[in-house]
């Protein structure tokens, strides 16, 4: 059975961490003109930061990574490339977490080459110092021991992927009690959505 540390993050934590991150940006004196949200992980933090910082212009870059829940893969690319003129603008690139750092490295390099901004800085809610190749200019929480953070905008996708991993390792997912035990044993936390509801959703999606 897989052993992956999973930590469930609440909506309230996301708001608190985003506000905390905003304070650090404010304290540094950096005046942000445009936020670039890395999709999808940076979308919610970007919107909260925009509100707190008073930023009207929020755009997005879709970084594609062949990442399945709780596994890591450094392959990253811009899925829908485009150009826009951001000359004279102070830009802030935002993501949820720097794990490998690949998404941020890629997005920063892409924005520099294609958007022509005055300055680019980067921000994430969390940074895993053990694994990242790149430390963002601003972050709120430093993670010492690697874990999979189950963000509230990803509950369904993550729990489904984690159940699939159990299935692949031979757990009988039709037996709900066995599934629940295996889930907690493998991931060290309880699923934020009942597993019987998850199974129904997997059936609806044709993934059961």
Q: Is 76 in the site for ligand ADP (CB under 6 A)?
A: yes
Nearest distance from C-beta of residue 75 to ligand ADP, angstroms: 8
Instruction: State the residue number with the nearest CB to ligand ADP.
Output: 41
Minimum CB separation from ligand ADP for residue 160, in Å? 15
CA distances from 192 to 9, 155, 163, 183, 187 (A): 9, 7, 13, 12, 12
User: Distance (Å, rounded) from C-alpha 168 to C-alpha 165?
Assistant: 5
Would you count residue 99 as binding ligand ADP (CB under 6 A)?
Answer: yes
* Choices 24-32, 91-99, 109-117, 173-181; region in contact with ligand ADP by CB under 6 A: 91-99
| Residue 59 or 208 having the CB closest to ligand ADP | 59
* Tokens read off for 37: 């949200």
Nearer to ligand ADP, 111 or 199 (CB): 111
Site for ligand ADP in 20-49 (CB under 6 A): 41
Q: Are strands 57-65 and 76-78 parallel, antiparallel or unpaired?
A: antiparallel
Q: Do the beta carbons of residue 23 and residue 123 sit within 8 Å?
A: no
**Residue with the two structure tokens 């629940």:** 180
Cis-peptide into 40, omega within 30 deg: yes
Q: Which residues bind ligand ADP (CB under 6 A)?
A: 41, 65, 67, 76, 95-104, 132, 148-149
């Amino acid at each position: 059975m897989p052993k992956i540390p999973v930590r469930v993050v609440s909506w309230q934590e996301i708001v608190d961490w985003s506000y905390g991150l905003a304070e650090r940006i404010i304290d540094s004196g950096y005046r942000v003109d445009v936020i670039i949200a890395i999709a999808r992980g940076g979308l919610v933090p970007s919107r909260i930061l925009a509100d707190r910082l008073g930023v009207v212009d929020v755009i997005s870059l879709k970084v594609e990574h062949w990442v399945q829940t709780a596994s890591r893969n450094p392959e990253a690319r811009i899925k829908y490339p485009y150009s826009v003129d951001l000359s004279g603008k102070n830009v802030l690139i935002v993501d949820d977490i720097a794990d490998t750092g690949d998404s941020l490295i890629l997005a920063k390099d892409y924005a520099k080459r294609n958007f022509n901004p005055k300055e680019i800085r980067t921000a994430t809610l969390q940074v895993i110092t053990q694994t990242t190749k790149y430390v963002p200019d601003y972050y709120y929480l430093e993670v010492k021991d690697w874990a999979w953070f189950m963000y509230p905008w990803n509950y369904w996708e993550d729990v489904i992927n984690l159940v699939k991993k159990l299935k692949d390792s031979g757990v009988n997912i039709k037996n709900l009690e066995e599934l629940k035990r295996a889930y907690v044993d493998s991931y060290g936390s309880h699923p934020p959505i009942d597993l019987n509801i998850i199974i129904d959703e997997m059936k609806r999606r044709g993934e059961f």
